[in-house]
């Protein structure tokens, strides 16, 4: 059943409808099997812009704040931004928002490919699901026709099989996102797959599986209208030039993709090795990307790009008869140095299993590195590993464990929900070797070599996340960014420095998730915040400057922290594992350094106007942001 509501404009600009947005949300009640359409909420747009901001506003305003992650009450939404589907560089992104089964915090996971643009072309900004279907279903969207269809025949298929089968049934021009077996089996590491891109972190795939939702298939033939095409083209040329002029992005990264980072990370002493016991890998030469690219007898590599992407960071690897898929820095680091493995064949096969079964490559590799340390320290033994010799450097054992985790097969069931959940089941000293924050495994940057990443990992609202922000570009790699008043290099080893710059960089990164553009526009501070503001103005017709742009990100972060606070998260949860505070880095520039967690938190909280114990904005800051109602609600809790 589909009830279509009127689609009057949400904001009037010069007598016409605001551009960039499609002003239409699809709401799907899976329990009742009812689909409705409604206008975008103008208050959400005004305060949070779109994308992740819109999805978090849905969680705050339309979901019980104590909803269990795998319950029907949890809302799972797919949210494009106003730039998604425009010619803006890398305007491909969709933010998937939910309550995370991995962390119990907000979940916000971002995916590229062509899905988000196609959703906009079909006429929609957001698709939101609640409830649980009695049987497997998928959502069919073909322009104005939207319906739930039986997915029983696809249940049990892996991600690629599902995508191929749906396209075979509907047509090759449909864009599909789906889950594999990990999502069906409710692994807390399960992700959502779309043409070898992933909404990878936090367990979005498990939430999808818990709702018996196998896939979404969309086809659209429309376009995203731009308010001022002449102004847009002028700003577009400037934005494109900013991207092309960044030497590292358009040199090694354009050539090798994100694996280009691995050598520099090792040189800077920030490459996690053997579960962060070390911060440099002595066998780094064996995993440098040229080893993969130059071995043409064994591997072939194809460049792939998401919608409107000039960079093409995705490098699609084929190894013999195995279509491995994208080889990313995080996959290479997680299944390579982090596990002490230096052979590409094992790294590729582990990545292949995460791809087809659909689970997070970062948490997958991190969990196996924890297993290896537990095994070597005698905390677990072969009875826990189905006889696998889980020592650091054992590539074949790592591959087989990855396969088992993806299917919850045998011992894989113990580890399929990540290292934190496994440690709670194992007991003893297992938790001492879990490198996670809020239950989410830390990704491939050692914070002992970049003070900014102490804060990025510790304070990320979704759990340890390297993209909120990837500020090692600034302090570890020495970039400056005058557009945000970073005019000289930042000391990567000083936890006591003023963190105002870091607050601005975090908001700058979050802006990409609101607008619907890729982090690669900002990861090496390529595109100016002022340029993004000019693009938004040209696209939508709404005047905005970089300060209001960052303010919308700040509001989104504030709302995420408010919801987390209601779910029991405070300053105590913004800390790194004790290894980083007690075990000095053993190599490279940070040799001998440990993290001063409390000083770093104090400085960042001060910059953000956070309450020093609650870890949320002060009432005064909430009021400044126009969110006094949120402050009144959460400060009455008195944790």
pLDDT for position 532: 98
Per-residue pLDDT averaged across 61-86, rounded? Answer: 98
Q: What digits encode the pLDDT tens for the residues 541-570?
A: 999 999 999 999 999 999 999 999 999 999
Q: What digits encode the pLDDT tens for the residues 320-363?
A: 999 999 999 999 999 999 999 999 999 999 999 999 999 999 99
Average pLDDT, the chain: 96
Distance (Å, whole) CA 279 – CA 273: 6
The H or E element that residue 565 is part of is helix 546-566
The H or E element that residue 325 is part of is strand 322-326
With 50 as the cut, is the pLDDT of residue 33 above it? yes
The H or E element that residue 416 is part of is none
SS3 of 94, please?
strand
**Phi (first) and psi of residue 96, to 5 degrees:** -100, 120
- The structure's pTM equals 0.97
Residue 633 to residues 161, 554, 561, 563, 628: CA-CA distances in angstroms?
46, 19, 13, 10, 9
Closest C-alpha to 103, from 469, 577, 462: 462
pLDDT for position 17: 61
Per-residue pLDDT averaged across 1-18, rounded? Answer: 41
pLDDT for position 566: 97
Q: Name the pLDDT band for 384 (thresholds 50, 70, 90).
A: very high
With 50 as the cut, is the pLDDT of residue 457 above it? yes
CA atoms within 13 A on the CB side of 461: 30
Please state, for a pLDDT cut of 90, what percent of the chain lies above it: 95
Q: Name the pLDDT band for 2 (thresholds 50, 70, 90).
A: very low
Which domains occur in the chain, in start order? 25-219 (3.60.9.10), 255-402 (1.10.569.10), 447-635 (1.10.599.10)
Query: Could you write out the three-class secondary structure of 37-69?
Result: EECCCHHHHHHHCCCHHHHHHHHHHHCCCCCCC
Answer yes or no: are the C-beta atoms of 525 and 479 closer than 8 Å.
yes
Answer yes or no: are the C-beta atoms of 594 and 583 closer than 8 Å.
yes
pLDDT for position 288: 98
With 80 as the cut, is the pLDDT of residue 233 above it? yes
CA atoms within 13 A on the CB side of 11: 19
With 50 as the cut, is the pLDDT of residue 379 above it? yes
SS3 of 312, please?
coil
Joined tokens for residue 420: 């934190």
pLDDT for position 16: 47
With 60 as the cut, is the pLDDT of residue 6 above it? no
pLDDT for position 637: 86
Number of neighbouring beta carbons within 10 Å of residue 178: 28
DSSP states of 110-132: EE-TTHHHHHHHHT-SEEEEES-
Joined tokens for residue 305: 């790009």
Answer yes or no: are the C-beta atoms of 78 and 96 closer than 8 Å.
yes
Distance (Å, whole) CA 363 – CA 419: 8
pLDDT for position 5: 36
Per-residue pLDDT averaged across 300-328, rounded? Answer: 93
Distance (Å, whole) CA 71 – CA 58: 16
Number of neighbouring beta carbons within 10 Å of residue 613: 11
CA atoms within 13 A on the CB side of 255: 11
Distance (Å, whole) CA 28 – CA 77: 10
Joined tokens for residue 88: 């803006």
């Amino acid at each position: 059943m589909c009830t279509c509501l009127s689609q009057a404009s949400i904001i009037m600009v010069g007598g016409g409808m605001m551009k960039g947005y499609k002003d239409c949300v699809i709401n799907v009640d899976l329990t009742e099997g009812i689909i409705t359409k409604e206008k975008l909420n103008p208050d959400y747009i005004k305060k949070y812009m779109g994308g992740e901001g819109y999805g978090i506003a849905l969680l705050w305003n339309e979901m019980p704040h104590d909803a269990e992650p795998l319950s029907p009450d949890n809302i799972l939404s797919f949210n494009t931004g106003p730039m998604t589907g425009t010619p803006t560089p890398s305007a491909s992104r969709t933010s998937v928002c939910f309550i995370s089964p991995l962390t119990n915090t907000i979940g916000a996971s971002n995916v590229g490919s062509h899905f988000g643009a196609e959703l906009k072309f079909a006429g929609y900004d957001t698709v939101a699901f609640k409830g649980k279907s009695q049987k497997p279903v998928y959502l069919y969207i073909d322009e104005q026709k939207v319906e739930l269809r039986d997915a029983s025949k696809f249940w049990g298929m892996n991600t690629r099989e599902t995508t191929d089968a749906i396209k075979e049934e509907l047509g090759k021009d449909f864009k599909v996102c789906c889950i594999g077996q990990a999502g069906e089996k409710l692994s807390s590491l399960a992700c959502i797959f779309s043409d070898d891109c992933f909404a990878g972190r936090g367990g979005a795939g498990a939430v999808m599986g818990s709702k018996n939702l196998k896939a979404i298939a969309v086809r659209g033939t429309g376009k995203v209208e731009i308010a001022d095409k002449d102004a847009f083209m002028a700003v577009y040329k400037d934005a494109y030039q900013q991207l092309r002029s960044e030497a590292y992005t358009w040199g090694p990264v354009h050539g090798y993709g994100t694996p280009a980072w691995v050598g520099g990370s090792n040189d800077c002493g920030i490459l996690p090795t053997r579960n962060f016991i070390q911060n440099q890998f002595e066998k780094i030469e064996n995993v440098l990307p040229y080893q993969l690219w130059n071995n043409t007898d064994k591997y072939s590599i194809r460049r792939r790009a998401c919608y409107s992407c000039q960079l093409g960071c995705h490098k699609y690897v084929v190894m013999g008869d195995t279509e491995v898929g994208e080889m990313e820095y995080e996959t290479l680091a997680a299944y390579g140095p982090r596990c002490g493995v230096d052979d590409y064949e094992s790294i590729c096969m582990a990545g292949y299993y995460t791809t087809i079964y659909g689970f997070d490559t970062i948490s997958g590799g991190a969990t196996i590195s924890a297993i290896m340390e537990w095994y070597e320290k005698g905390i677990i033994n072969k009875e826990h590993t189905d006889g696998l010799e889980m020592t650091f450097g054992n590539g074949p054992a790592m591959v087989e464990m990855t396969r088992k985790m993806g299917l919850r097969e045998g011992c894989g069931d113990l580890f399929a929900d990540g290292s934190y959940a496994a440690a709670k089941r194992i007991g003893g000293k297992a938790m001492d070797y879990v490198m996670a924050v809020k239950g989410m495994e830390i990704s491939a940057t050692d914070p002992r070599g970049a003070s900014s990443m102490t804060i990025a990992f510790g304070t990320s609202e979704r759990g340890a996340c390297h993209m909120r922000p990837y500020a090692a570009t600034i302090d570890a790699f020495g970039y400056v960014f005058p557009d945000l008043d970073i005019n000289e290099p930042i000391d990567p080893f000083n936890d006591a420095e003023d963190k105002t710059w870091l607050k601005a960089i975090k908001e700058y990164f979050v802006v990409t998730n609101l607008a619907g553009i890729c982090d690669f526009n900002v990861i090496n501070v390529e595109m100016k915040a002022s340029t993004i503001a000019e693009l938004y103005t040209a696209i939508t017709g709404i005047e905005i400057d970089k300060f209001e742009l960052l303010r919308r990100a700040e509001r989104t972060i504030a709302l995420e922290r408010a919801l987390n606070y209601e779910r029991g998260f405070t300053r105590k949860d913004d800390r790194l594992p004790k290894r980083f505070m007690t075990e000095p880095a053993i190599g490279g520039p940070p040799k001998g350094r440990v993290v001063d967690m409390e000083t770093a938190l104090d400085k960042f909280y001060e910059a953000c106007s956070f309450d020093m114990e609650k870890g949320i904005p002060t009432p005064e800051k909430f009021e400044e942001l126009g969110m006094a109602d949120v402050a009144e609600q959460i400060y009455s809790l008195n944790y």
